[in-house]
């Protein structure tokens, strides 16, 4: 189910793919810092991804899509809907279930690997892993994890235009979610800078970092915390590698507290890297121990009740933020 958008590489004897090396196209980057509430139109995440693919393929004939079910089936989650009819089988290429094979074919760069990542629903340990930390540990890769439709559209367009290999991690449960988008986001020149986080909600008491679906959980937790007098700042990472250490550290300097949230396993996780970064660079600003919220250190259970226990919930974030602000009993006392 992984789609591959590639440029400047050869695939078999397809005329569309026999292209000489050329300079990377330079296009303007628009950094939309406006809030979602100020937007006039809503767009589903899957439609944001589809429109980004369509516009980039239309703008550059060297861009093409290859992967499982991306053509005739129009994508497992309909992200590539309509692209086969519009661009033909030479630019939208269905492959067998041979990930290692078509990945090997596409080892030239620029290249983007995109597809679902993170916990799904009721599919057990086979399809519910978050691999952000795995990919994020590899030098040379850029790793992106969008949350909203704005993120999905702007980051995918940036990834396709980027000269380096990019891993693009989409959350399966977000495909059908709708988010407000502005006219600027819908412009064909729109793009988001890789490596730049976004402050989704400003606050002064505690910083909560999150990415992908967990951003929504963090925002819901922030609303609950606000009712109790705790002002939480929510940082949408957007980019796992490069990591926007500047934005994270600036937020911690302001709030003096940190809670990291992710679906992945706790050991060697994205949150662990963020905590190390903050402790190394801004230890003197911390007024409380850092808190990490992550998935349980177990293979994903299939049973719905156990699955819920294995992934972070909004109430977990709320409790961690309260502990950080000394509004709740510590873990040791609670145990």
Q: What is the pLDDT of residues 210-265, one digit of tens each?
A: 999 999 999 999 999 999 999 999 999 999 999 999 999 999 999 999 999 999 99
**244 and 123 belong to one structural domain:** no
* Cis peptide upstream of residue 293 (ω within 30 degrees of 0): no
Cβ(101)–Cβ(25) below 8 Å: no
**98 and 128 belong to one structural domain:** yes
Supply the pLDDT for residue 13: 32
**206 and 292 belong to one structural domain:** yes
Range list of H helices, the chain: 45-59, 83-87, 99-105, 132-136, 149-161, 183-186, 213-227, 245-255, 270-282, 304-310, 314-324, 331-334
Q: Which domain holds residue 256?
A: 198-326
Cβ(114)–Cβ(3) below 8 Å: yes
* Through-space distance between the first and last CA atoms of the chain, rounded to whole angstroms: 42
**173 and 47 belong to one structural domain:** yes
Name the residue with higher pLDDT: 26 or 76.
76
Of all residues in the chain, the percent with pLDDT exceeding 90 is 76
What are the distances in angstroms from CA 120 to CA 116, 229, 276?
A: 9, 33, 29
Which tens digits make up the pLDDT trace of 263-313?
Answer: 999 999 999 999 999 999 999 999 999 999 999 999 999 999 999 999 999
**57 and 171 belong to one structural domain:** yes
Tokens of 91: 């630019």
For the segment 192-206, the average pLDDT, to the nearest whole number, is: 98
Categorize the per-residue pLDDT at 106 as very low, low, confident or very high, splitting at 50, 70 and 90. low
Cβ(5)–Cβ(55) below 8 Å: no
pLDDT at 42 over 70: yes
* In-domain check, residue 333: no
In the three-class reduction of DSSP (H, G, I as helix; E, B as strand; rest coil), residue 17 is classed as helix
Name the residue with higher pLDDT: 100 or 221.
221
For the segment 168-178, the average pLDDT, to the nearest whole number, is: 95
Cβ(90)–Cβ(66) below 8 Å: no
* In-domain check, residue 17: no
Name the residue with higher pLDDT: 45 or 23.
45
Q: Which residues are catalytic?
A: 99, 127
State the total domains in the chain: 2
* In-domain check, residue 29: no
pLDDT at 32 over 70: no
Name the residue with higher pLDDT: 334 or 119.
119
Supply the pLDDT for residue 100: 83
Q: The pTM is what?
A: 0.84
Q: Among 13-27, 68-82, 98-112, 283-297, which is the least confidently predicted range?
A: 13-27
**121 and 152 belong to one structural domain:** yes
Task: Quote the DSSP letter at residue 288.
Answer: S
pLDDT at 81 over 50: yes
Can you spell out the DSSP letters for 90-146? TTEEE--S-HHHHHHHT-SSSEEEEEE-S--SS-GGGS----HHHHHTSTT-EEE--
């Amino acid at each position: 189910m992984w789609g591959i958008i590639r440029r400047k590489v050869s695939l078999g004897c397809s005329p569309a793919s026999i292209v000489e090396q050329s300079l990377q196209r330079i296009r303007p980057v628009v950094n939309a810092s406006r809030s979602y509430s100020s937007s006039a139109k809503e767009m589903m995440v899957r439609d944001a991804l589809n429109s980004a693919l369509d516009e980039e393929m239309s703008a550059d004939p060297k861009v093409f899509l290859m992967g499982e079910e991306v053509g005739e089936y129009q994508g497992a989650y309909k992200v590539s809907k309509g692209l086969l009819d519009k661009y033909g089988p030479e630019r939208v290429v269905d492959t067998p279930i041979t990930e290692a094979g078509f990945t090997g074919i596409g080892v030239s760069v620029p290249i983007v690997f995109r597809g679902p990542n993170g916990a799904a629903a009721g599919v057990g340990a086979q399809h519910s892993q978050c691999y952000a930390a795995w990919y994020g540990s590899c030098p040379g890769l850029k790793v992106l994890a969008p949350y909203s439709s704005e993120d999905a559209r702007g980051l995918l367009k940036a990834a396709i235009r980027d000269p380096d290999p990019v891993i693009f991690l989409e959350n399966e449960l977000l495909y059908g979610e709708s988010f407000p988008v502005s006219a600027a986001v819908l412009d064909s020149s729109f793009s988001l800078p890789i490596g730049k986080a976004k402050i989704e909600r400003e606050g002064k008491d505690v910083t909560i970092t999150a990415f992908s679906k967990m951003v929504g959980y963090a925002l819901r937790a922030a609303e609950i915390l606000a009712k109790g007098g705790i002002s939480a700042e929510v940082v949408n990472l957007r980019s796992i590698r490069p990591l926007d250490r500047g934005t994270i550290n600036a937020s911690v300097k302001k709030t003096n507290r940190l809670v990291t949230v992710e679906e992945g396993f706790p050991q060697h996780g994205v949150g662990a890297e963020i905590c190390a970064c903050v402790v190394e660079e801004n230890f003197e600003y911390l007024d409380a121990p850092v808190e990490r919220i992550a998935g349980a250190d177990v293979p994903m259970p299939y049973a719905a009740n156990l699955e819920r226990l294995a992934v972070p919930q909004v109430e977990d974030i709320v409790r961690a933020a309260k502990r950080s602000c000394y509004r709740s009993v510590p873990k040791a006392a609670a145990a």
